[in-house]
Chains A and B, each alone.
Chain A
C-alpha cells in the first residue's frame, strides 16, 4: 500500500518534470529546425539580393527588407493603439469601475480575445477597409493602418487581462497610504498603483506586441500585401506586406528544399529572433525592476 503510493508519487513527479522540460525541448527543436531549413539561404542567395528592397520570389528576387519594414510598421501602429487603450481599460476595470461593471466587462473583454482572426479579417476587408478609404480619402482601404487597427484591437484583450491582474495585485495598503497623505485618486493611480504594477504591465505590453507581430490571417486579408519598403509616416497609410503573411501565402506553393523554401524559413527565423528579443528585453526589464523594488522595500 505504502510502496504503491510512493511509486505513484514518483511517476507523477517524473511526468510533471517531463512536462516542464518539454517546453524547453520543443523550443530548442523548433529553433534547430528553423536553422536547418533557413540557414542554407545564406549560401544560395547572395547577400545583396537578400537585403535589396524587391520581393518577387518567382523571379528570384528575395529582398526581405520590405517584409521586415511592413511587419515593423504594422506592429508599431498596433502597439500605439493597443497600449493606451489596453492599459486605460485595465486601470478602469481594476481601480475605478464599480464591482458589477467589472464583472460584466472583464468576461466580455476575454470573449473578444477569443474571436477567430479570420472573422476579424473578413470584417476588416468588407467593412473597415471601405470605410477608411472613404473617410481618409485614400486610394485604397487595404493599408498598413487597417492592419494596425485590427491587430491593435486583437492585442487589447491580452493587454487588458494581464495588466488588470497586475494592477489588482498591488496591495491595498499602497493605495491607502497614498490617499492618506492627501493624494487624489488620479495621483494615486498614476504615481503609486501603476508604478507598483510596472513589471506586470510591461509583461502585458510585451505579450500584446508579441500577439501583433505574430498575427497572420487578419493582416494578410486587410493590409494589401504589397511588398513596398516603408519610408516615413505616410507608409502607414499605404499597403504593406508582413513577414507572417508572406510565409502563410507562399509556403504552400514552394517545392520542399527549393531556394524559395529556404528563404521562407529564413524569414521565419528572423521572426523567431525578433520575438525572442522582445521576450528577453521584457524579462530583463521586469527582473531589474524587481531587484530595485526589493531594495526599496527592504
Chain B
C-alpha cells in the first residue's frame, strides 16, 4: 500500500511535464537567468560551445545550451519550435522555409563564420592532389581504385557524413554534382554513411583505402589533407583561412545561425557579439575562417 501511495504521484510528476508543449519563448521573460537553446550542425558545435563558454564568462546571467546532431536536426528543431537558435552548415532549403512558415516560424539567417571542407586520406596514401572532377568521379562511383588517380593498387572506400549533415548536402551539390543545376548524380551506393565526424576520422586514421571529407576545423595531424584544383589546368590549393578568403580554395562555404523572427533581447545581444572581433578570433583559433569585417 505504502509503496503505491508513493509511486502514483511520482508517475504523475514524471509524465505531466513531458506532456506540456515545448516552450518557444525567445528568452525575453524577465526571469533571473535567461536560457538560449542552441542546436544543429556538428561542424559548428565546437565553435558554438567555445562561443557559449566565453559569452557566459562575460554575461553570467545568460545560460546557453549547445547541442549537435546535424544541420538538418537543428533546422527541424527550429521548425518544431524547440530551439531558439539553429546552427547550420548549409542554407535552409525552400521546403524547410515553407514548413517553418506553416508552423508559424519565420527563420532569419545570420552568416557567422566560413569553413573550408578538406578532403582527407590516410597518412600513408601517396595521392596528394585531386581535381574537383576526380573527387566527383570517386564519390559517384566512376573511379574505384586508387591507381586510377596515381595511387597504389587499392580499392577506394568512400566515407561520408549521414544525410542529415549540412556538410553532406553541401558536398553533394558543390562537389559530387560540381555545382551544376540539373545534375542528378548521386553518391555511390556503397558510400559509408557515418554518424559522426569522429567516425570518419577514426576510419581515416587507420584505413589506407579510405577517402573522406570534413570541415577544416576537424582535421588533425593524424590524417593527410589533399590539395584541390577546380580543373586539371588549375592550381592545386591547400585549404586554409587565406585560401578560403581569397577565393582560391574551391570547396568553401558559409556557416549559418537561424533564429525565429528578428532576434530580440539576449539572443540579439548574443548574435551581435558572435559577429564582433573578439568572437571571430575564436573562429580562427578553432581552424575556421572568420567572416570579413
Binding site for B on A (CB under 8 A): 8, 11-12, 15, 54, 56-59, 61, 66, 125-126, 129-130, 133, 139-142, 220-221, 224-228, 238-239, 241, 249-250, 252-258
Q: Do A239 and B190 have beta carbons less than 8 Å apart?
A: yes
Nearest A residue to B80 by beta-carbon distance?
A256
Select which of A8, A220, A252, A256 is within 8 A of B164 by beta carbon.
A252
In the assembled complex, the Cα of A141 lies from the Cα of B203 at a distance in Å of: 9
In contact, B192 and A224 (Cβ under 8 angstroms): yes
A/B interface sample: 24 pairs, CB < 8 A:
A56-B187, A57-B163, A58-B163, A58-B169, A59-B186, A125-B199, A125-B202, A126-B202, A130-B207, A133-B206, A139-B209, A140-B192, A224-B194, A226-B190, A226-B192, A238-B190, A239-B190, A250-B164, A252-B70, A253-B72, A253-B163, A255-B80, A256-B79, A256-B80
Interface: B133 (CB within 8 A): no
Contacts of B243 in A (CB 8 A): none
Closest CB-CB distance, B21 to chain A, in whole Å? 13
- 4 extra A-B contacts, CB within 8 A, seeds A249-B193, A252-B73, A252-B164: A15-B4, A139-B154, A139-B209, A254-B72
Contact with A along B137-159 (1 / 0, CB 8 A): 00000000000000000110100
* A130 pairs with B186, CB closer than 8 A: no
- Cβ of B189 under 8 Å from chain A: yes
Given contacts A253-B72, A255-B76, A258-B99, whether A227 and B189 have CB atoms under 8 Å apart is yes
- Give chain B's interface residues, CB within 8 Å of chain A: 1, 4, 69-70, 72-73, 76, 79-80, 96, 99, 154-155, 157, 162-164, 169, 186-187, 189-195, 199, 202-203, 206-207, 209-210
Q: Nearest chain A CB to B162's CB is how many angstroms away? A: 5
Asked if B163 contacts A250 (CB within 8 A), the reply is yes
8 closest Cβ pairs, A-B complex: A253-B72, A253-B164, A252-B73, A139-B155, A225-B193, A224-B192, A140-B157, A130-B206
Complex Cα distance A57/B169, Å?
12
Contact at B70–A12, with CB atoms within 8 Å?
no
Smallest CB gap from B8: residue in A: A15
Contacts of B195 in A (CB 8 A): 220-221, 225, 249
Nearest opposing residue in chain A for B168, CB measure: A58
Measured CB to CB, the nearest residue on chain B to A134 is: B206
User: A125-B199, A221-B199, A252-B164 known; A12 and B190 CB under 8 Å?
Assistant: no
Give the residue of A129, A220, A221, A226 whose beta carbon is less than 8 angstroms from that of B191: A226
